[in-house]
Amino acid sequence: MKFGASDKKDFLIPPFAFLYFYLIFAATFGLPSVAGGGLFHSDSAGWLGIVSCCASLSILLWSLISFGRSFRIGIDTDQPDRLITTGVFAHSRNPIYVAFALVLVGEFLVFPYWPFFAYLIAGIWLFHRQVLLEERFLIGHYGQQYQEYCKRVRRYF
């Protein structure tokens, strides 16, 4: 695990993640929250959110299976292993970030409050930022092999 090794700002993520999880529990169980009133109310949107979360978990599981023993958290410059281009990675270069974004979308649709919308926007921005950092490393480490992979497979879906 290389979390925070290349970018110390990564340590800002856990407090916001804990707040996010509290907001989910607060919305679910009626606990005190800063969420306020909902931005909209739609049973259909809620069910679509549940489908989005389930799809997210499926993509995440497929990603972990595709990674196999090569799975890393963060940019591992010590033991980068081989470039994975099969399984779900034949369809997306960043399926785990796609899965994370889908779960944020789904949770916002289930709990349509402004903090969840803010987390959705911030999360997508942070995921994209991390993808760009990882791509820079992958180009430097795998060179032409990674550039050819980029030509065949989209960054997201």
Structure-token pair, residue 96: 């785990």
Confidence of residue 34 (pLDDT cuts 50, 70, 90): confident
Contacts by 8-11, CB closer than 8 A, 24 or more apart:
10/74
pTM of the model: 0.84
CA–centroid distance for 21 within its chain: 15
Mean pLDDT of the chain: 88
- Of 51, 17, 58, 52, nearest to 25 by C-alpha is 17
pLDDT tens digit sequence for 85-124 = 999 999 999 999 999 999 999 999 999 999 999 999 999 9
Structure-token pair, residue 138: 């992958």
Does residue 145 register a pLDDT over 80? yes
At residue 8, the pLDDT reads 62
Is the separation of the CB atoms in 123 and 104 below 8 Å? yes
Which residue in the block uniquely carries the two structure tokens 């299976």? 65
pLDDT tens digit sequence for 39-66 = 999 999 999 999 999 999 999 999 999 9
